[in-house]
C-alpha cells in the first residue's frame, strides 16, 4: 500500500448525483445558535428544545476544535421530541468536512456480516484521513490549440498546446488522450487551466481578464481570473480526504475500491486494519496525513443487544475512535439479549461513559411554529381556520400525525381542482377521517378485537386453562 496508490484510487471515485427531496428533517439547516452558542427560539428550522440545543452546541464546538474523540453522548427523550432532529442539526452545523455516519440500531442485524464487523465498519467510516502529497502541475493561460487530423480519417489525432504565464510561453505536444480531455472540458484560447502531470486531469479555473472583451455577451457562470505568473510547471500540495473504511476496502482485496460502489465489502481482516493503522500513524508522524475524528450517530440504540454494547464499550477506548452519539426513547426496559432491566435499555457501565442530553415535549406554540415551517418546506398553504385545526390535532394527537396530514391534505386539495389556493377546513376533516391516529386505531381494535384473527380475549384464556 502506497500513499500515491491510495490517493489515485480515491480520486477515481465519483460522487453520485444528489436529489433534493422533502424528508422528515429536510427543513433543518443547523442548530440555530448565535455566535455565543446560545440557542435562538426559532432559527435554521429548529424550534424550542433550548437546553438540548445549547448542550449540542457545546458538543459541536468541541468536535470542531478536535478537543474530544472517543466520547459518547446519549440523546434521550419521549417519542416525537426532536432527538433525531437535533442529531441532523448537528450534522448540518458541522459541515461536510467532518465525517458524519448515521445508522439505525436495527440495521446491524439485517446485514450479511457479523454485528461487530458492521459496527467496526461504521466506526471506520466516521474517521477521515487527510492525505497530503506534492504533485507537479502545469498552470497557465491557453494561447492556442492546434489539432492535426489524419488525412485518411483513421488513426490517432495529434496536436500542439501553447500556454503562457506573465513571464514565459511554452508549446506542448498533445496526444489522443489529452486532446479528448481538452475537448471534453471545452477548453479554448483564453482559458486559464491546471494540468496534473501525474494523472493528466485538466481543471478549468476561468477565463483570463485579457480576453474579457472577446465576446459581446457572456453567461453569469463565466469567471474571470488573472493570468498566472512565474513558471508554467510548479509543485503544488494537494490534500485528499478519505475515510479509514475506504482505505480498508481498497487494501482488503484486488480492485477492492469497486466494492465501495456495490456495497459488498464483506468481512475485513483485523490484520489489514492493523497494518493500515500503523501506516496512517507513520504518515501522521511524517506530516503527510492528518486524522479527523468524526461522528457516528446510532438511532434507536435500544435495539442493540448486549454483545453490541460490549463492543461499543471496547471500541470507545481505541485511539482511533470517533464521537459516538446515540438516541433512545425508552425508559427503564430490558437490555436486549438479557433479562436485566436498565435505563434506556442500555448497560449501566456504558451509560456511565456517556453524557446525557434530555429532550422535553413541545409546547402548543412550538408545535404551531414547527407546522408552519413544514408547510413552507412542502409549499402547502392553509387557511387560518384550517391551520388552527391542524395545530389542535397535533396538540391532541401527535405532531408526527399532523405533519403527515399536511401532505395528504395537499393531495386531496389538488384532486378537487379547487380555484382556492389555500386548503380549507373541509379538506383537513376529510383526511382526518380517512387516516387514523394511534389513539383512534387502538379504540377500533378494542371495539372489534373479537373479529380479528389469532385473537383470544382474557376470558377465553381463563376458560381454556380451567
Q: Is residue 265 part of a domain?
A: no
Q: Is residue 224 part of a domain?
A: yes
Q: Are residues 31 and 88 in the same domain?
A: yes
Residue 243 backbone dihedrals phi, psi, to 5 degrees? -90, 160
Tell me which of 452 and 391 has the higher pLDDT.
391
For 399-433, how does the pLDDT look when each residue is reduced to its tens digit (9 = 90+)? 888 888 888 888 888 888 777 788 888 888 888 88
Q: Are residues 209 and 140 in the same domain?
A: yes
- Residue where a domain stops, chosen among 358, 378, 402: 358
Domain count for the chain: 3
Nearest Cα residue to 354 out of 316, 398, 402, 308: 316
Q: Is residue 5 part of a domain?
A: no
| CA distance linking residue 120 with residue 110, whole number of Å | 15
pLDDT bin (cut points 50, 70, 90) of residue 462 is very low
| CA distance linking residue 78 with residue 327, whole number of Å | 11
How deeply is 415 buried, as exposed, middle or buried, from its count of CB atoms within 10 A (0-12, 13-18, 19+)? exposed
Q: Percentage helix, strand, coil, to 5, in the chain? A: 40, 25, 35
Kindly give, in sequence order, each residue whose CB lies less than 8 Å from that of residue 416, ignoring residues fewer than 6 positions away: 427
In which domain, by residue range, is 73 found?
Answer: 18-126+294-358
pLDDT bin (cut points 50, 70, 90) of residue 209 is confident
Q: Is residue 26 part of a domain?
A: yes
For 124-137, how does the pLDDT look when each residue is reduced to its tens digit (9 = 90+)? 888 888 888 778 88
- Predicted local distance difference test score (pLDDT) of residue 273: 85
| CA distance linking residue 319 with residue 117, whole number of Å | 18
- Predicted local distance difference test score (pLDDT) of residue 460: 47
- Predicted local distance difference test score (pLDDT) of residue 461: 47
Nearest Cα residue to 244 out of 216, 222, 265: 265
- Residue where a domain stops, chosen among 358, 383, 406: 358
Tell me which of 173 and 212 has the higher pLDDT.
173
Provide, rounded to the nearest whole percent, the portion of the chain with pLDDT above 90. Answer: 0
Question: CB of 78 within 8 A of CB of 274?
Answer: no
| CA distance linking residue 220 with residue 123, whole number of Å | 43
| CA distance linking residue 147 with residue 425, whole number of Å | 69
> Running DSSP on this structure, what letter comes out for residue 105?
G
Q: Are residues 115 and 138 in the same domain?
A: no
- End-to-end Cα spacing for the chain: 73
Q: Is residue 279 part of a domain?
A: no
Tell me which of 302 and 16 has the higher pLDDT.
302
Q: Are residues 66 and 39 in the same domain?
A: yes
* Grid cell in block for residue 259: 466494492
Q: Is residue 404 part of a domain?
A: yes
Residue 10 pLDDT exceeds 50: no
Residue 109 backbone dihedrals phi, psi, to 5 degrees? -90, -10
- Residue where a domain stops, chosen among 343, 358, 373: 358
- Predicted local distance difference test score (pLDDT) of residue 16: 35
Q: Global pTM?
A: 0.71
| CA distance linking residue 366 with residue 411, whole number of Å | 26
| CA distance linking residue 205 with residue 112, whole number of Å | 45
* Grid cell in block for residue 331: 425508559
Nearest Cα residue to 108 out of 120, 91, 126, 124: 120
Helix runs in 185-293, H state only: 244-252, 259-262, 270-286
Q: How, if at all, do strands 42-43 and 46-47 pair? A: antiparallel
* Lowest mean pLDDT segment, chosen from 52-61, 117-126, 211-220, 294-303: 211-220
Tell me which of 61 and 16 has the higher pLDDT.
61
| CA distance linking residue 27 with residue 377, whole number of Å | 6
Q: Are residues 169 and 227 in the same domain?
A: yes
User: Greatest CA separation found in the chain?
Assistant: 103
Query: Taking CA 381 as the corner, what is the angle to CA 375 and CA 383, rounded to the nearest 5 degrees?
Result: 120
| CA distance linking residue 93 with residue 52, whole number of Å | 15
Residues 93-110: what's their mean pLDDT? Answer: 84
pLDDT bin (cut points 50, 70, 90) of residue 160 is confident
Q: Is residue 451 part of a domain?
A: no
**CATH number of the domain where residue 119 is located:** 3.40.50.300
Residue 462 neighbours by CB distance under 10 Å: 9
* Lowest mean pLDDT segment, chosen from 13-22, 347-356, 361-370: 13-22
**CATH number of the domain where residue 195 is located:** 2.40.50.360
**CATH number of the domain where residue 416 is located:** 1.10.8.60
Q: Are residues 104 and 195 in the same domain?
A: no
Nearest Cα residue to 280 out of 253, 257, 251: 251
Q: Which residue has the cell 468536512?
A: 97
- Predicted local distance difference test score (pLDDT) of residue 99: 85
Q: Are residues 392 and 307 in the same domain?
A: no
pLDDT bin (cut points 50, 70, 90) of residue 464 is very low
Q: Is residue 121 part of a domain?
A: yes
Amino acid at each position: 500500500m502506497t500513499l500515491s496508490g491510495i490517493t489515485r484510487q480515491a480520486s477515481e471515485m465519483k460522487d453520485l448525483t444528489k436529489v433534493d427531496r422533502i424528508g422528515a428533517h429536510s427543513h433543518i439547516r443547523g442548530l440555530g445558535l448565535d455566535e455565543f452558542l446560545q440557542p435562538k427560539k426559532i432559527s435554521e428550522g429548529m424550534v424550542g428544545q433550548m437546553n438540548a440545543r445549547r448542550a449540542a452546541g457545546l458538543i459541536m464546538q468541541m468536535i470542531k476544535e478536535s478537543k474530544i474523540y472517543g466520547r459518547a453522548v446519549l440523546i434521550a427523550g419521549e417519542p416525537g421530541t426532536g432527538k433525531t432532529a437535533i442529531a441532523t442539526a448537528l450534522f448540518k452545523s458541522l459541515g461536510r468536512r467532518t465525517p458524519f455516519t448515521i445508522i439505525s440500531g436495527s440495521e446491524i442485524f439485517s446485514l450479511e456480516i457479523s454485528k461487530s464487523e458492521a459496527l467496526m465498519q461504521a466506526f471506520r467510516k466516521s474517521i477521515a484521513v487527510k492525505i497530503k502529497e506534492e504533485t507537479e502541475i502545469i498552470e497557465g493561460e491557453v494561447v492556442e490549440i492546434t489539432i492535426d487530423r489524419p488525412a485518411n480519417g483513421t488513426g490517432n489525432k495529434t496536436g500542439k498546446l501553447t500556454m503562457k504565464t506573465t513571464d514565459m510561453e511554452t508549446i506542448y505536444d498533445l496526444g489522443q488522450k489529452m486532446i479528448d480531455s481538452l475537448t471534453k472540458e471545452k477548453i479554448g484560447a483564453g482559458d486559464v487551466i491546471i494540468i496534473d502531470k501525474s494523472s493528466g486531469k485538466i481543471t478549468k479555473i476561468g477565463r483570463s481578464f485579457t480576453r474579457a472583451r472577446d465576446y459581446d455577451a457572456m453567461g453569469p457562470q463565466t469567471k474571470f481570473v488573472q493570468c498566472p505568473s512565474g513558471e508554467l510547471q510548479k509543485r503544488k500540495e494537494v490534500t485528499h480526504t478519505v475515510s479509514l473504511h475506504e482505505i480498508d476496502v481498497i487494501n482488503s482485496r484486488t480492485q477492492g475500491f469497486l466494492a465501495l460502489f456495490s456495497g459488498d465489502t464483506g468481512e475485513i481482516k483485523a490484520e489489514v486494519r492493523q497494518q493500515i493503522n500503523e501506516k496512517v500513524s507513520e504518515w501522521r508522524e511524517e506530516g503527510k496525513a492528518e486524522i479527523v475524528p468524526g461522528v457516528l450517530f446510532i438511532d434507536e440504540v435500544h435495539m442493540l443487544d448486549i454483545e453490541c454494547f460490549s463492543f461499543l464499550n471496547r471500541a470507545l477506548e481505541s485511539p482511533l475512535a470517533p464521537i459516538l452519539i446515540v438516541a433512545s426513547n425508552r425508559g427503564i426496559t430490558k437490555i436486549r439479549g438479557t433479562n436485566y432491566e436498565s435505563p434506556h435499555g442500555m448497560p449501566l457501565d456504558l451509560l456511565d461513559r456517556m453524557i446525557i442530553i434530555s429532550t422535553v415535549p413541545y409546547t402548543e406554540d412550538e408545535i404551531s411554529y414547527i407546522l408552519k415551517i413544514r408547510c413552507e418546506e412542502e409549499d402547502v398553504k392553509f387557511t387560518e381556520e384550517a391551520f388552527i385545526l391542524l395545530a389542535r390535532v397535533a396538540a391532541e394527537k401527535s405532531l408526527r400525525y399532523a405533519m403527515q396530514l399536511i401532505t395528504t391534505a395537499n393531495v386531496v386539495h389538488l384532486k378537487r381542482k379547487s380555484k382556492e389556493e389555500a386548503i380549507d377546513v373541509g379538506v383537513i376533516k376529510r383526511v382526518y377521517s380517512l387516516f387514523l391516529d394511534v389513539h383512534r386505531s387502538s379504540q377500533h381494535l378494542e371495539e372489534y378485537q373479537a373479529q380479528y384473527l389469532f385473537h383470544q380475549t382474557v376470558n377465553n384464556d381463563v376458560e381454556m386453562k380451567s
